[in-house]
Structure 1
Amino acid sequence: MPFIVPSVKQSLILAAMALALVGCSPLAPLNFVISDKHYTLLADQAYGDNQRQKLDVYFPKENIQSAPVVVFYYGGSWRGGERGNYAFVGEALAAHGMIAVVVDYRVYPEVTYPAFLQDSASAVAWVEKERQQWQDQPQPLFVMGHSAGAYNAAMLALDDRWLAEQNLSRDILSGWIGLSGPYDFIPIVNPQVKPVFHHPDTPEDSQPLFHASASSPPALLLAATPDKLVDPKRNTLQLAEKLRDDGVSVETDTFESLNHYTILLAMARPFQGWEPIIQQVQAFTFDQAGTTVPSD
């Protein structure tokens, strides 16, 4: 699909959102231009005692009983972020037939690795318990993230330790989705990330690539070719190759027209004509669920 040049209004929103994605703004301007007609919101649900251990659930208005559940983690170099800025992700997923769970988690300097993974797993444990009330027959469960959030999702899907701490198995996951995720970044060069992962003593097993194996769940890995922050070849494509070598089902796509930030913005309603990101997420989750993608 060709890149569509945004209007002036869209360009302004895009610039503001890019700032929000790197933690420079407490607001997500896109929230003012999306509609709530496609979802019902269950907000401010606590999965722990810390103020940042909360999440929001976006239910589709129709076909809840057959909706896959997607737990989403945002990026921000494990240093910031706010789930309210990502209502556009919840709206996009719900509008395409999925139950979306947008998660806050503790970040640096309050915590360092691996506390944000423990939070991510705790959020999944909350979802696993509560979703029994959402559907008569719980549907497939996925974890998804962008950038640092894709790392969180990858580690839950590939490394047994984090869900095991919640007395859960990775087998509860039908798959995972990563957008521009860092999956192999030792030695760490980003000064913002070094203290988060105890540089220079970053443990080798903190890397998702280290945990890729034949028992890993199916994956959808998307990246932007011009990404200047997270190298798509070293991260997305290398991990995909390792998983495929181990016999794991992996779908990948790269986009020349996007960058590290716009790959997520392309999920938002004003920008969904850029590239079919949300459609690929929808197709992947419903395919893994073995159900038909709902018509728009």
Structure 2
Amino acid sequence: MFNKSEYWIKQLNDTMGNAKDFIRDFRIYDVGSYALNQLTPREGYTLHENIAYGLKARHRLDLFKTHKPQLNQPLIIFVHGGAWTHGDKSSYRFVGEAFAREGYDVAVINYHLAPQYIFPSYVDDLTLALNFLSLHQQKLAIRTDDVVLMGHSAGAFNVMSAVYHPQQYELQCRAQIRAIIGVAGPYHFDYKGDPLCAEAFDQSVPFQQVMPYYFVASNSIKHYLLMAENDQIVGHNNTEDFDRVLKEKGNHSKMIVIPRTGHITVMGSVSSLFSRYFETKEQILISIEEALKP
């Protein structure tokens, strides 16, 4: 005999399963980024898309050239987040525009994603992009004499790991990195079995052999660690621990809490559409100006 109750329970379970798959593959920030990019102004900068910095498919970057160049033009390199499994530079036009309109050239890079590519491949990609930009600065009409690395979430891990890594990378611009700006970054956590990012790391390798926290060395780089006040994804202890070890090594480090933001909205709030309502963009600009002072 047909049981309506069992039928609807099965339908509900199937729907819930499909919903979980949908949520996993279609993150809420895709909607936000798409909307922001559609509304992002097109004037004030020139966009050069899909510049190949290497031979593989995702070795691509977008370069935003400001229409208000400074005397000694700095370069910002931005690395997106997405738990190392998700995300694309095309979703971050609003970041390039936000800082190009303030007089900075901005490179927004893609990198290879898990589970096909795991640590340290995405950090390798970043270092490849940095060396490409240094080698081709004349052709691209950019300067890498004053470099600012900036990343959000997984991207913040990547920019820190380019400098603090188990094996030091050969970075042509290492001595020219003036600042590293990490936004809601995970710098010190155990990824074993982590539901969001376990597949981005070799689970047989202890996190102590991977996290940038364990490889901090003394240098002259200025570090600005931004935290979202209401971050429910990356714990504040990541930033607090990293700030402490940077200072223990004699490095400059400044923690900045951005009020009224969460893990995703802290990055979205740099958009020219919303930056007047939040402190994020202003704090980043203040940090860059401070770092570039002679």
Same fold at TM > 0.5 = yes
SS at match of 2:256: strand
Q: Is the 8 A contact 1:194 1:200 kept in 2?
A: no
Match of 1:251 among 231, 250, 254: 254
Q: 1:289 aligns with which of 271, 289, 292?
A: 292
Q: 1:274 to 1:208 in 2, by over 3 A?
A: farther
- Counterpart pick for 1:39 among 31, 37, 45: 45
Structure 2 partner of 1:105: 111
Identity of aligned residues (%): 24
Report deviation, 1:96. Answer: 1.5
Which amino acid in the other structure matches residue 226 of structure 1? Answer: N
Larger radius of gyration: 2
Q: Bigger relative contact order, structure 1 or 2, given CA contacts below 8 A and separation 6+?
A: 1
Q: CA deviation at 1:112?
A: 0.9
Partner of 2:276: 273
**How many Å separate the matches in 1 of 2:135 and 2:28?**
32
1:56 counterpart residue number? 62
Once the two structures are TM-superposed, the CA of residue 172 in structure 1 deviates from its matched residue by 3.1
Kindly indicate whether residue 126 of structure 2 is the aligned counterpart of residue 120 of structure 1.
Answer: yes
Q: Deviations over 1:158-193 (max 9, x none)?
A: 2373632xx636323112110000000125352231
Q: Is the 8 A contact 2:69 2:103 kept in 1?
A: yes
Unaligned runs of 5+ in 1: 1-18, 292-296
User: Structure 2 length as normaliser, TM-score?
Assistant: 0.84
Match of 2:172 in 1: 168
| Structure 1 residues 22 and 127: CA distance shift in structure 2, 3 A | farther
Alignment partners' CA distance in 1, 2:64 and 2:167: 28
Q: Give the distance between the partners of 2:96 and 2:142, measured in 1 at CA.
A: 22
SS at match of 2:200: helix
Q: What is the aligned partner in structure 2 of residue 239 from structure 1? A: 242
1:67-86 Cα offsets, whole Å, 9 max, x none, are 31111110001002111110
Aligned to 1:11: none
8 A contact 1:163–1:170 mirrored in 2:
no
Return 5+ residue gaps in structure 2 as ranges.
1-24
Which residue identity does 1:46 align to in structure 2?
A
1:286–1:119 Cα change, 3 Å? same
* Aligned counterpart in structure 1 of residue 138 of structure 2, from 121, 132, 135: 132
- Matched residues in 1 for 2:148 and 2:195: separation? 31
Q: Secondary structure at the match of 2:47?
A: strand
Q: Does 1:94 align with 2:90?
A: no
Whether the 8 Å contact between 1:158 and 1:208 is mirrored in structure 2 is yes
Task: Supply the RMSD in Å over aligned alpha carbons.
Answer: 2.4
Local SS of the residue matching 1:62: coil
Q: For residues 84 and 140 of structure 2, what CA distance do their matches in structure 1 show?
A: 30
Local SS of the residue matching 1:254: strand
Q: How many residues align?
A: 270
What is the TM-score with the length of structure 1 in the denominator?
A: 0.83
Partners of 2:145 and 2:176 within 8 A in 1? no
Residue-by-residue CA offset, 1:214-258 (whole Å, 9 max, x unaligned): 2262111101122111001x1112111211222211122113311
